[in-house]
Structures are given as C-alpha cells and as structure tokens.
Amino acid sequence: MTRSLEGKVAVITGAGSGIGRGIALRLAEDKAAIAVWDLNPEGAAETVKQIEAAGGKALAVVADCSDKAAIKAAADETRAKLGPITILVNNAGIAPFTPFMDVDDDEFDKVIRINLRGPWLVTKEIVPDMLAAKWGRIINITSSSTQSGSFAQTHYVASKGGLLGLTKALALELGKTGITANMIPPGSIDTPMLRGAPIDPEAYGASLPVGRLGQVADIAAAAAFLASEEASYMTGQTISTNGGRYMGSA
C-alpha cells in the first residue's frame, strides 16, 4: 500500500547511493519531495534522475553532512526550492573495520564526527521546521551492530550507539510536539559498502534465519512506514530490519 506523503519535503543524507538512494526513491514514490544530500555530486544527480524518471520531484544538494556551515547552506537551498522540511532521514555514515588497538585518535574522531555529530547537527538545523509545522518525522539509520557488537568496529559501534541514544532522547523531548523520532538498525544489506567489507556476504547471508542478505528495499519499506501517518503513535522505537540477526526480548 502506498502511503501518501504529498506536500511533505524529505531530506535524506547520503542518498547518492545504497540505502539512502533506496529510501529516497521509496519516499518519492509515496509523493514526498526529496532533497538528496550527498558529498558525491554524480551519485546525488543519479538519484534525482531516477526519481524524476518515475514522475517524482527531487533536488540534488552537494553537502558535507558533518559540517555545520554546509548543513545550513544545504537546508537553506532545500527550503528555497522545495519548502519547509518535515521528514529527515539521517543515513550518511562510514563503517571502517579497524582492530581496536589500531584505531588512532584521528580515525575515532572522524567516525564520531560523521556518524554522530553529523546527525546531531542536521537534526538541530531541521527540527525548527518541524516545530513550526507541528509535525515531523526523524528517522535515524543506526546499525544492528549496536545490538550485537561487530568485530574490529569499536569506533563505528560506539558512534551508532550514540545515535541510538540520541534518537530516544529526541523522542522523549519532542513527543508532545507532533514530531516522532525512530531508528532503523539495518542488518547486512547488499550495498557497495557491504561488498567492500572484509566478510563473505553470501556466506553471511546464508547463515541468517531468513537465509539471505537484506535488500535496500527492505530498509526503504521500514523508513516509508515510519515517515507515514500510520506510525504517528510510534516514537523512540527500533525497527530491527535484519533478517533475524538480532531478536530482541518481547
């Protein structure tokens, strides 16, 4: 079922490829106008091209989603061309594999800056639009590694764990304003990022309860639900889209 987001403007960070692109395409299918924020101009343009080819409305914005000035400029451009922003998907991130004792301070700081400080800054820039509208959806893409850990990714898991905490705190603080804040921790999703990881994707997918890797569309479907009116009574929640990698307690 298509959930209409007509009249809504959505920002998806890191939407020039992978999960971000999939979410952008799905929310455009549900009639939202999409601002594709990405460092890669070619990737952002390709996402916009695909959205427009399907009859949707989209804007490519080249921005470093961890830089405060760049975020403000991107938000101002989005508002000027599409309107106030009431849906935000914090998806941009990096996921390096480095053994704990080999992680230097610079690498740790880079991961935290992109994966945690970036979403903090983007959210702070956009929430005033949501408060003015008395309606908003914040969807943070975390990681199933925050639930299970991940080998040689202490800095990555720490950053995504921080994003998990931020999501819950936002849900508590903004709950009465019409804004929800939820998170999706993907499992192993078949993307270029996963293909570059030091694992055997097919073998890992076969080991999961569902017997396969996840697809971008699986995450996009969860995001579409959380962005919809149907999810208005859900906030601070974790939608574990992971093929059974982690099963939380009832």
Q: Any idea which residues carry the catalytic annotation? A: 156
- Are 141 and 219 in contact by the 8 Å Cβ rule? The answer is yes
For the chain, the straight-line distance linking the first and the last C-alpha, in angstroms and rounded, comes to 27
